Every structure is written in C-alpha cells, then in structure tokens.
Structure 1
Amino acid sequence: MTRFFFDFRPATAGDARVLAILQAHCNLRRVGWLAGACFILLATPPALADLMLFPTRVVFEKNQRAAQLELINNGQESTTYRVHLVNRRMNETGEFTAAEPPLPGEQFADALLRYSPRQVVLAPGRGQTIRILLRKPADLPVGEYRSHLQFDLVPEATGASSIDAQATKPGPGEVGVQLRALVGVSIPVIVRHGETSATVTLAGLELPRPAAGQPAVLAVVLERAGNRSVYGDLVATFTPQGGVPQEVGRAGGVAVYTPNAMRRARLELQPPAGVVLARGTLRLSYRERAEAGGKLLAETSIELP
C-alpha cells in the first residue's frame, strides 16, 4: 500500500468550490477565515486528490478532551476510507517510518485516544465528521504524546476497480494477476500533558553552488530542545547591499517531533525576476504558523559575497 504522510500547508483562497463545500458542511460564516485555515487537497491518485481534511493536525492541550475532524469528498465519485491510529517516527530528514516497537524516549498517543466512526463512505460533495476523544490516566507522566490518524482508501469491488473488468484474460496454462496500488494519508494527533515547552535554533546555514540549470537550495539544521515538538514555516529573505528585503523561498508546516533533537531541511529558493543572490544578506526565519500567532521561533543569516 502506498501511503502519504504530511505536515500540511494552508490551501489558497482561489478554489471557490472547495471553500463553498467546506463552509456549508462545517456551518462556517466567515469565508475569509476559512480561506486561511489549514486544509489540504491531496495529491494524486484521483481518489485522494478529491479528499479534503480540516484541520490537518489535531493538538490536545490543557483541559481539552474532545476534537473533531471534517472530511469532504470534492470529487465526482463515492469513496470509502478506513480509519485507524498508527505510530510513526520521523527521521532527521523529515521522513516517516513505522515505529514498531517504540524506541526509548518515544511516547505515543494511541492508547489515550478514542475515535468514531472507523470507516466512512463519502458521496460526491458530501462530508463526514470524525470525533476524537482523549482519556488520560491519572498517573500519566508529563510530556507530549503523538500518534497519526490514518485514512486508507478502500477499493471498490465493482466497476472500474473490478479485477474482472480490468484484468487481461490469461492464456492456457497461465495465471492472471492484477496489482492495484492502494493509497492512504495520515495526520498527526498530539496530546500535551502538564507543563511542556521547547526551543529551536537554526544551525549550519549553507547555500551550496547549484548545478547548471538547477535552482539554488538553502540547507539548514533545526535543533530542538525540550519536551514538546516544534512546528512552523521556514521563510528565506534576501537583502541586497543598500536594498530592501525580498522573500526568496518558503516551506510551510515544518515540524521537529519529539524525541528528535534535530532535523535537516532543504529549501528551494525562487528569487524574483532580476534578483541575483549575491552581495547581500540571506536570512532564514522559522515562525509559528500564522493561525497560531506567527511568533518568531528562530532566525539566522549568512552574508553572500
């Protein structure tokens, strides 16, 4: 099964149909607020391209005990998804793998969470609410706990998905086999219990010389300390000597999850037309998402000759 794991970015306000469907399903009145909210239109294949999730990460803090997640089918066909909790660990480049068994320092939230329903059928243009409940034992140690809510696409047994309809008829003495990739997506569900805090610094900022015809890529290491994860946007700006700062690159939704102490990130730079990355200051900032307040978490810079 092919699965996609995301730290999600905000959608743009350009898709009026998407905003209208989500607004109607969630009974939201402020379209302007909705346009800046975190939801996603998933990448190919088509069945996932039509799945919308809102919000795209769930965080339980303080006395919060319940949350909900909205699923919307923006496609033209009915789809079915099976829902379950999984435990993932992030490596130093941001990739996820199954955390089986847990390693020292890893704290997962699956035993603390209950959710319903566990399977959803989404008709075109319709939505479904997933309700998540948190139950914390009295002796739960202070810290952050994380698991991922996984949505696996269930293949249709009829029509275009039918093996009988698609498979080539085998010849005499042959066996016909059809392989069909199933897809899934997961979002983090985070539980913070007690006093949690984290700090982050940006280290090893480097702008290697790009290969011919390739864009410039800024490399950096995010170093995290504390008992909770960090999550935000990386924004690169360039200030030429005697000029004004201009944004030249952005990466949204960059996380460093516990217990990881660091993450290596690479940010492709796309300077505005006519801007040459030379004789000036290249600055990289790491901020909380705008919907979380936009607080500056860390910043660093290098001088370009």
Structure 2
Amino acid sequence: MKKILLCCITALWVFDASANLLVNPTRVELDRKNTSAVFSLVNKSTESARYNIYFEDKKMLANGDYVELSKQEATQSLANFVRYSPRRVNIEPEQGVRVRLAARLPRNIAQGEYRSYIVFHQIPLAPKSSNDATEQKADTFSLSISAYMKVAIPVLMRVGDLSSELKIEKSAIDNTRQSIEVTLQRIGERSSFGDIEVINPVTKQIVAATKNVAIYTELNERQFSIALTEPVAAGTELIIRYQENNSLFQAKTVEAKLIL
C-alpha cells in the first residue's frame, strides 16, 4: 500500500512540472524578411529529460482554451512550410539545447497569416535495470504512473502588410467585485497581441492588468477576466485600455470607460 501511495503522489507532482522546462521565446512572429528563429530549451529539473519535437495545428476558443485541428481543418497551417532541427533532444539537468527553425514559403502563396505550434513533448527515457530483490517478490503489487509534459509555442508567418480593427465591446465588474470582465472584438487579416490595463484616472494607478494576451484570426471576440489588485469603491470611473504589441503592423490602442 505504501508503494501505491508513493507512486500516486509522484504522478501529481509531475503534472505540475511544466516549470522544469524553460522555453524561449514563447511566441515567434515571422514574415518575408524574417524567416528563421532559434528556441532555447533549458532543463531546470534534477533529472535528465528527453523531448520529441513536432508541429500541431490548433484553434483558439473564446474562453482562451484550444482544440486541435485536423489537416483538413487547418487551412492556414504553417507546418508544411517549416523545417526544423533537431527533432528529438536529451537534456541533462541544468543544461540547455537549441532548436533551429526556418520557413520557406512558395512564391505564389496567398496574402494572410499562417500559424502552427511547435511542440516539445517529454517522452520516457530508457528504463533503468534494478537488482533489488524486494522488487522481484511475486506478492508485491506495484503501481507505476507517469505523466509527461507538453509545451506548445505558436509560430506565425505574416505574408503582406496585414491589419486589424479592435474595439472594447463591453466591460463590467463581476458579482464578487474581485475582477473586471472585458470583451475585446477583433476584425481583419491578422491576429492581435497586447496588454489590457484597468486604470483609475484620478489616482493614475493600474488597478488590474493582464499581459501578453492573444486574439487569433479565428476569433472575432474574446472574453477576459482580470483580477483587481486593490479594492475599488462603487461609483469609481475606470479606463479599460488595450494596447497592441509594437511589433504589429499599424499597432493600435483602444479604450473604454467603466463606472462601477
């Protein structure tokens, strides 16, 4: 029974182990002039780890979750135009490796935004042999549970000068008065990335914020729940501001007012 309990506890710990692999960058944006990228992977755990590297296609849902797409559904996939190396790596504790990626687009490819996800999927190392006689007892029941993490990083390629229009459609404080609910609308040819800030214009303080949010081209709008960092009195007027990343073509900033 002790062995069963120990294995279950170990499995729970592994599910929270995504911090054991550090990946940089966490998003890649390519275009006709910038067609390559290098990922740095660092193993922060105390054990050796092995990762398979491959591409997947996903779409974002309005709540921020993702669903995987089939090849037929992934009409804007970048995976077929990308070459990368290596495709499997072993990383020792506190050591790192690099994965290089390059995109080659057909000359006649249509203008638009193409996206796929490079995946770093942990796989088991070769099992170690054991000479422990106690493990060979026929009356010993052993349960072995393993969970391996999977990190997916978006890789985008923009063909042409793509733009989008943005609008904060609505905002409100939730029933518990602990967070601000914001709906951001997007239309146009490209995805949007940026930061949402909730500002008290009187004190100039940022009372809530969420950084590096994304709204991909498959979405016309997305909902965000942004936790307040300090209490805000009823009747206070706040400014909701969404500012796009400066790397985007014709980056925009939109604002809306909210009275609590």
2:187 alignment partner in structure 1: 225
1:39 alignment partner in structure 2: none
CA contact (8 A) 2:199 2:206 kept: yes
Q: For residues 191 and 157 of structure 1, do their structure 2 counterparts lie closer, same or farther at Cα, with a shift above 3 Å needed?
A: same
Identity of aligned residues (%): 29
Partner of 1:48, secondary structure, is helix
**Structure with greater strand percent:** 2
1:200 alignment partner in structure 2: 166
2: CA distance, partners of 1:168 / 1:178: 15
Of 245, 258, 265 in structure 1, the residue corresponding to residue 224 of structure 2 is 265
1:83 alignment partner in structure 2: 53
Alignment of 1:107-256 (within 5 A): 107-158=76-127, 178-210=144-176, 216-239=178-201, 243-256=202-215
CA contact (8 A) 1:68 1:131 kept: yes
AA at the equivalent of 1:64: N
Count, aligned residues: 245
TM-fit CA distance, 1:68: 0.9
CA contact (8 A) 1:235 1:247 kept: yes
Q: Deviations over 1:251-271 (max 9, x none)?
A: 112101112111111111121
TM-fit CA distance, 1:143: 0.1
TM-fit CA distance, 1:290: 7.4
TM-fit CA distance, 1:201: 1.0
TM-fit CA distance, 1:191: 0.5
TM-fit CA distance, 1:188: 0.2
Q: Deviations over 1:81-123 (max 9, x none)?
A: 111000011011110110125448x411111111100011111
User: Is there any run of 5+ residues in structure 2 with no aligned partner, and where?
Assistant: 1-12
1:98 alignment partner in structure 2: 68
Q: For residues 269 and 102 of structure 1, do their structure 2 counterparts lie closer, same or farther at Cα, with a shift above 3 Å needed?
A: farther
Q: Deviations over 1:221-269 (max 9, x none)?
A: 1111111100111111124xxx322111111121011121111111111
Normalising by structure 2, we get a TM-score of 0.83
Partner of 1:195, secondary structure, is coil
Query: For the aligned residues, what is the CA RMSD?
Result: 3.0
1:287 alignment partner in structure 2: 243
1: CA distance, partners of 2:236 / 2:164: 32
TM-fit CA distance, 1:52: 1.1
2: CA distance, partners of 1:169 / 1:46: 33
CA contact (8 A) 2:15 2:147 kept: no
1: CA distance, partners of 2:101 / 2:243: 28
Structure 1 residue 53 and structure 2 residue 23: aligned? Answer: yes
Normalising by structure 1, we get a TM-score of 0.72
